[in-house]
């Protein structure tokens, strides 16, 4: 599951309660969250969510202007996280961007899981493309694991953009790196899946059109490792939106969440 939680904007206390209730209903095994708030005194939304769900966690935050708050991304997991790092995606102090890369120790093997939030302005397609390349390069150089990588987050890019085409192998001039599958397209092809939608009251007052900006992307496996039975792979069973409905009168976030159910195929002969 991936979800942009919108920090401390709007009625954030009521929203946070609605977020926790929604997460308890979905009950994800692995969760990527973006725009996670933190304060200088050690309080953090990551801790609130992790404690409420009883999950392992890894997270990164940076100061949010002069607000006194910090904001960032995180990975949470039902299973242990053996190691993690924050991969810096740009050097802009006014709009820092990073990807949290965590090794989640699932019952089927270790899976690199990424939570990221790419640059947000519509005209920053080139910046987002460079950020995608940094993520792919980092995952390409990692030690082979038992499972392919999973990238989740608010990519601020539409499915036909160069940024998504770079992730999914459809942009021909990209450097070598892992290729990903868009889970929504696998089972919901032709359905818009807008995660930024004017039906959401927090998005209705903005000039940005309805768009699908949030994704769960699963990596294609290394065929050599599959043949040697040293790497499993994923198949997509379902993909849906969550956080669409109000909870006790409050919509949880300005973005809808994406929830994907994956099946792990570790032993199928090739």
- Asked if residue 14 is part of any domain, the answer here is yes
Which whole number is the average pLDDT over 187-212?
96
List 151's β-bridge partners, or say none.
114, 217
Using pLDDT thresholds of 50, 70 and 90, give the confidence band for residue 94: confident
> Could you report the per-residue pLDDT of 138-153, keeping only the tens digit for each?
999 877 778 999 999 9
What pLDDT is stored for residue 142 in this prediction? 78
- Asked if residue 138 is part of any domain, the answer here is yes
- Asked if residue 224 is part of any domain, the answer here is yes
Can you give the length of the chain in residues?
A: 270
| Domain count within the chain | 1
User: What element of type H or E holds 164?
Assistant: helix 162-167
Which whole number is the average pLDDT over 175-201?
96
- Asked if residue 270 is part of any domain, the answer here is no
Residue 253's nearest CA partner among 117, 59, 55, 51 is 117
**Mean pLDDT score across all residues of the chain:** 94
Residue 91 has pLDDT above 80, yes or no: no
Q: Determine the structural domain holding residue 188 and report its residue range.
A: 2-265
What pLDDT is stored for residue 189 in this prediction? 92
CATH of the domain at 77: 3.60.10.10
What pLDDT is stored for residue 267 in this prediction? 60
CB under 8 Å to 82, separation ≥6 — which residues?
Answer: 103, 104, 105, 110
- Asked if residue 166 is part of any domain, the answer here is yes
What pLDDT is stored for residue 85 in this prediction? 97
Higher pLDDT, 146 or 261: 261
Backbone torsion region of residue 149, taken as left when φ is above 0, otherwise alpha when ψ lies between -120 and 50, otherwise beta: beta
> Could you report the per-residue pLDDT of 17-66, keeping only the tens digit for each?
999 999 999 999 999 999 999 998 889 999 999 999 999 999 999 998 88
Determine the Cα–Cα distance for residues 156 and 118; give it in Å rounded to an integer: 6
150 in Cβ contact with 109 (< 8 Å): no
Residue 158 has pLDDT above 60, yes or no: yes
CB under 8 Å to 256, separation ≥6 — which residues?
Answer: 194, 195, 196, 197, 200, 214, 241, 242, 243, 244
- Asked if residue 60 is part of any domain, the answer here is yes
Determine the Cα–Cα distance for residues 269 and 54; give it in Å rounded to an integer: 36
């Amino acid at each position: 599951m991936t979800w942009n939680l919108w920090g401390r904007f709007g009625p954030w206390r009521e929203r946070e309660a609605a977020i926790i209730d929604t997460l308890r209903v979905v009950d994800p095994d692995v969760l990527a969250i973006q725009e996670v708030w933190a304060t200088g005194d050690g309080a953090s939304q990551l801790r609130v969510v992790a404690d409420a769900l009883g999950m392992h966690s890894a997270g990164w935050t940076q100061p949010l202007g002069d607000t006194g708050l910090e904001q960032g991304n995180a990975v949470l997991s039902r299973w242990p996280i053996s190691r993690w790092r924050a991969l810096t995606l740009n050097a802009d102090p006014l709009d820092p961007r990073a990807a949290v890369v965590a090794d989640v120790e699932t019952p089927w093997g270790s899976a690199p899981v990424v939570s990221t939030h790419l640059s947000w302005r519509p005209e920053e397609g080139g910046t987002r493309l460079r950020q995608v390349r940094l993520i792919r390069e980092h995952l390409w150089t990692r030690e082979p694991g038992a499972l392919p990588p999973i990238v989740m987050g608010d990519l601020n890019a539409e499915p036909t953009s160069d940024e998504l085409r770079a992730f999914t192998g459809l942009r021909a001039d990209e450097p070598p790196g892992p290729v990903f599958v868009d889970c929504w397209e696998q089972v919901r092809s032709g359905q818009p899946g807008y995660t930024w939608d004017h039906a959401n009251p927090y998005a209705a007052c903005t000039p940005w059109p309805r768009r699908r900006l949030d994704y769960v992307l699963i990596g294609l496996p290394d065929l050599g490792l599959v043949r040697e039975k040293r790497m499993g792979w994923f198949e997509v069973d379902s993909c849906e939106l969550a956080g669409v409905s109000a909870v006790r009168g409050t919509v949880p976030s300005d973005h809808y969440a994406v929830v994907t159910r994956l099946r792990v195929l570790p032993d199928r002969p090739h």
